[in-house]
Amino acid sequence: MNTGEGSGAHDPHRDIPEATVARLPVYLRALTSLAERNIASCSSEELATAAGVNSAKLRKDLSYLGSYGTRGVGYDVDYLSYQIAREIGVTHDWPVIIVGIGNLGQALANFSGFSSRGFRTVALLDAATQMQGQEVAGLDVRPFADLARIVAAEQVSIGVISVPAPAAQDVADAMVAAGITSILNFAPAVLSVPPGVDVRKVDLSIELQILAYHESRKAAESAEAAATVDNGSGEGITA
């Protein structure tokens, strides 16, 4: 086992599955919560319930980034927190810009969880002249044309899009041209970007529609069950 590249067991920092990456922030938050309650160490079982996952899955996830636990004991909260934060890359802050300071953009700018955990909003941009110069969340709203200059000056690599859907692709193109390589898109639109640029999509109405689908099924099932109770064939009402 471990053929070639004989650098030791497990070859750290390589090939963490996407599903695991998506859960690491959840573990990090759970660990932070434990640390705030002055809990110094925890078992995989405790951490798993705090994070809402299976304990086996948690252990496997953590094993991808190394052996940071002690058998028979568990995990040191601070140590594991640091290791996960290092793996994610949030030991230092990332500068972020937000384009589109409408309802949602203002909420994002004011959202404390945004800035608290590894991210720092360095600029707000909007194309509408009536927004420019206004102060939102302690930052001046700047014209969209300043995008490239700000990105270069502040070394920004992450951008947030909260503009209406028709403008989203144009904003994404401008971001990519300015050198941004990670985009968080709140606009209900499919973005096409060159390879090497990551896009994550947050779509509120899609989430609601998924819930609606399951609601419909629940309603259909309970109606079906009621019909089955009323009369075996489930056809017609014979009261």
7 or 71, CB closer to a copy of itself?
7
Which structure tokens are listed for 225?
């069950």
- CA distances 125 to 44, 60, 158, 230, Å, are 43, 42, 14, 61
71 or 214, CB closer to a copy of itself?
214
Query: Could you say which DSSP state residue 74 is in?
Result: E
CB of 58 vs DNA, minimal distance in Å: 9
232 binds DNA (CB under 7 A): no
Cβ–Cβ < 8 Å for 142, 174: no
Among a copy of itself, DNA, none, the one that 71 touches (CB under a kind-dependent 5 to 8 A) is DNA
- CA distances 165 to 79, 115, 144, 161, 190, Å, are 43, 25, 16, 10, 9
What is the spatial distance between Cα 178 and Cα 140, in angstroms, rounded to a whole number? 20
Among a copy of itself, DNA, none, the one that 110 touches (CB under a kind-dependent 5 to 8 A) is a copy of itself
Among DNA, a copy of itself, none, the one that 98 touches (CB under a kind-dependent 5 to 8 A) is none
- With CA atoms as reference, report the closest residue to 30 among 43, 16, 49: 49
Contact pattern from residue 66 through residue 105 relative to DNA, giving x for each residue in contact according to CB under 7 A and a dash for the rest: -xxxxxxxxx------------------------------
Applying CB under 7 A, the residues found at the interface with DNA are 1, 9-10, 17-20, 42-45, 53-57, 59-60, 62-63, 67-75
